[in-house]
Amino acid sequence: MPLTNIKIKNAKPRIKPDGSTTTKPYRLSDEKGLYLEVAPNGGKWWRLKYRIGGKEKRLSLGVYPDVSLKDARAHRDEFRKQIANGIDPSHIRKAEKKSTSAQNSFETIAREWHTKFSANWTADHAARTLTRIKNDAFPWIGNKNINDISAPELLTVLRRVENRGALETAHRINQICGQIFRYAIATGRAERDPAADLKGALPPTRPKHHASIVEPKKIGELLRAINEYSGSFITSTALKLSPLLFVRPGELRQAEWSEIDLEIAEWRIPPEKMKMRTLHIVPLSTQAIQLLKEIQPLTGRDNYVFPSNRTVTRPMSNNTITAALRRLGYTKEEMTAHGFRSMASTLLNEQGWNRDAIERQLAHSERDGVRAAYNYAQYLPERKKMMQAWADYLDTLAKGANIIPINKTINI
């Protein structure tokens, strides 16, 4: 006799003569192989019994009441049509499950995340991020359903990286994986972020400091060495501008003439070139303008201020400034291209300039991304005054004067 909604709703676990609940499920038959299986805990599952190729098989059609009697019969009729055509519905389900699993694999979602977000990154950062997870995550968890990856399993992946002495890389990979898991959660393909559970599971990294010279007398010696640099004129100019502007090395080498306005003495670096992805203004001192005017006849017709020595369509190499410092005799333990930023930060703070103005000029991270996007001109009058005073101070050091830093509060 076919089932009814009332009969299904009233179906309860069977009770033994001694009053205890049976430990085995029982079945309530409907029609054409469809039946309801009632479990000892009261759960109710729809099943379809069918024969194909001479073998009896069963297929789950879902849980009642999520799947109603009407829906269960509709599923049954659909599957019976497949069976009549010699198609085993269990094979189709396995193929669909495999396809869904592949679509929800860690690697598939990671690549999707990378494609979507890397458009706003620098090319170097995008390539480095993908390489890290391709080499250190995909081989072990790439094929796994992202929702099945546990925190201990992810930790095992990170331990492999840590054990080869790349602790900082292990932390970076965990950070990247966390972003991927959160993207999967937002798109409905994962329920939680196991990377967040690993806080404290890896030893902390030791902060790396870029080698820098901050003693005034030694800065003067460095500046005099830079002024006597005998390499190419393009490299020499970039080297001389490094302490004056103290931007990141990558920002300097990719400077374009279209970004520089010598009339108003400003270099406006577009967001896509900045680490924090916001517009950055670099006030130009008279010394910086003079250097730019000297190189303009050589590269001013090209796109880049400091083009590659191989082609003007690309900027100079990212290790050009560092190589020049090595040529001057400075080791990596003494001075780096990035060290000009530490030099300026240390000395300007010692001299009493507004700390916030210094941080803004260094283009350091702003916690509020929206605020950062609108604060690119913050403290600009003071920063212009500071950049000129800094250039004048460097000139004095280069001449060998004995300069004693003094605290100087600037009121604009």
Query: Catalytic residue numbers?
Result: 248, 275, 338, 341, 364, 374
Inter-CA distances, 112 with 99, 106, 115, 117, Å = 16, 10, 5, 9
User: Which tokens sit at 299?
Assistant: 């590269």
What's the rounded Cα separation, in Å, for the pair 269 and 252?
Answer: 10
User: Which tokens sit at 313?
Assistant: 């369509």
